[in-house]
Amino acid sequence: MSENLKRFICLGCGFLYDEALGLPEHGIAPGTRWADIPENWACPDCFTAKHLFEMIEIPYAVGEPHVPQLSPAAPPQPPHVI
């Protein structure tokens, strides 16, 4: 399944939706196909309508798993007071 996943770019701001990654922070699970996202969905960055996204081909690197592994963000550090 994952070798057929696609990526879509927002023509308004360049935001990239990757079917392999989904948008869990917006309720879209990894592996969610573009066709399964509601038509009234909009770009989370600039609110461009779904129909104004285009499919793009960005191949994964050779040997890279089809679902990229993201490393967790470092925990925020408290400010240093001088």
Looking at per-residue confidence, does 24 or 4 come out higher?
Answer: 24
Residue whose tokens read 């869990």: 24
Burial class of residue 59 (count of CB atoms within 10 Å of its CB; 0-12, 13-18, 19+): exposed
* Tens digits of residue pLDDT in 43-56: 999 999 999 999 99
Set out the domains of the chain in order of their start, with CATH numbers: 2-56 (2.20.28.10)
Give the pLDDT confidence score for residue 50 in this predicted structure: 97
Find how far residue 44's CA is from the centre of its chain.
10
Band of residue 4 on the pLDDT scale cut at 50, 70, 90: confident
The count of residues in the chain is: 82
- Three-state DSSP at 42 gives strand
Pick from 13, 37, 35: nearest CA to 26 = 37
